[in-house]
A and B are shown apart, each in its own frame.
Chain A
Amino acid sequence: MIDVFARIFVALLAGAIFGFGLSLSGMLDPARVRGFLDIAGHFDPSLAFVLAGAVAVSSAGCLISRRLRHPLLDSMFHLPVKQGIDLPLVAGAAIFGVGWGMSGLCPGPAIASLALGLVPSYVFAATMLFGILVHDNWPPSNWAQRRRLAAKRTLDADANA
């Protein structure tokens, strides 16, 4: 029972640290994210510093996790099992890249910036949620089948980013 509450607290804490880190890093600002992507124009290297700091600390976490048989609050790790490079991976990353370049927003900052109460954030978040729902439930005729598959794949899907 203590573990249940501890895991609930960890989810909230990790989300809050993540959101505070995004705020401090300047990455809630779509203009600065687009500045990083604007290599031929007004280039802003901030995102490279964010990624460097994040990957450095996250790598330490990964190294420690390899020495553990299971995470502290669960009986096993839930990590992605897929290895190969396939079309959905590349096509999905390409589609995301176009939307990211157009808006300067990705899912983390999109959710965190809702706190600022600005209309553009809510418009973006609403269509982003719709896009997620369309993907996760498409095609509608196969809905029931997809849901059964999704349940089976919960482990994989939850480990997905």
Chain B
Amino acid sequence: MPLTYLHSLIGGALIGLASALFLLLDGRIAGVCGIIGGSLRPAGENQLRNLLFLFGLFLGPVIYRLGFGGWPVVHFEASLGILAFAGLLVGFGTRLGSGCTSGHGVCGLARLSRRSIVAVATFLAFGMVTVAVMNRVG
């Protein structure tokens, strides 16, 4: 198994650990788009903790850099215009569908939620079709 796949597996396990900690200690689903939604609702009782979760998320790559001496590698393939449009779809779609890769993917699948299994199958299928179409056209 290539080393990067091992990193992916360990990184994934840490993501699972974060969601297990959040569930067992705070009693909530660690779904990032729901947490962003909650952090934008003024006077919500969870607003401060939602904002701190997001700040922790932001610190993640900083801790990685302290440990490994460099930022994680990223390549953006899409133009800024496409990224801007995609951001709208991701923000609106994840809220309408009550979840994203973390909420439905990591937490929902672990809970064997029927809604999450349907959501994951749907966004994977539409994601695959979108990439295939863009490769044909672009």
Contact = CB atoms under 8 A, between A and B. Distances in A.
A and B associate in one complex = yes
A100 B123 CA distance: 8
A53 to B, nearest CB: 3
A95 B93 contact: yes
B12 to A, nearest CB: 3
Contacts of B110: 55, 58-59, 61-62
Contacts of B90: 96, 99-100, 103, 105-107, 110, 124, 128, 131
Nearest to B89: A99
A119 to B, nearest CB: 7
Contacts of B85: 99, 102, 127
A22 B52 contact: no
Contacts of A19: 56-61, 63
Given A25-B12, A101-B134, A135-B92, A157 B23 contact: no
Nearest to B80: A123
Interface string B40-72: 110011101110111111111111100000011
A100 B74 contact: no
A112 B111 CA distance: 25
A90 B36 CA distance: 21
A12 B127 contact: no
* Residues of B in contact with A, size category: 35 or more
A68 B132 CA distance: 45
Given A34-B131, A52-B12, A127-B91, A161 B98 contact: yes
Given A14-B18, A130-B88, A161 B127 contact: no
Interface of B: 4-5, 7-34, 36-38, 40-41, 44-46, 48-50, 52-64, 71-78, 80, 82-111, 113-116, 118-120, 122-132, 134-135
20 contacts: A23-B11, A29-B72, A31-B74, A58-B16, A59-B16, A80-B98, A90-B118, A91-B96, A91-B97, A92-B93, A92-B96, A93-B119, A93-B126, A94-B93, A97-B122, A98-B126, A103-B90, A110-B90, A123-B84, A133-B40
Given A101-B134, A157-B34, 17 more contacts: A10-B21, A19-B60, A20-B60, A21-B13, A70-B27, A93-B122, A95-B92, A95-B96, A102-B85, A106-B90, A106-B102, A107-B91, A107-B100, A116-B72, A124-B86, A130-B87, A161-B104
Interface of A: 6-8, 10-31, 34, 37-41, 45-47, 49-62, 64-65, 68, 70-74, 76-80, 82-85, 88-108, 110-116, 118-120, 123-136, 150, 154, 157-161
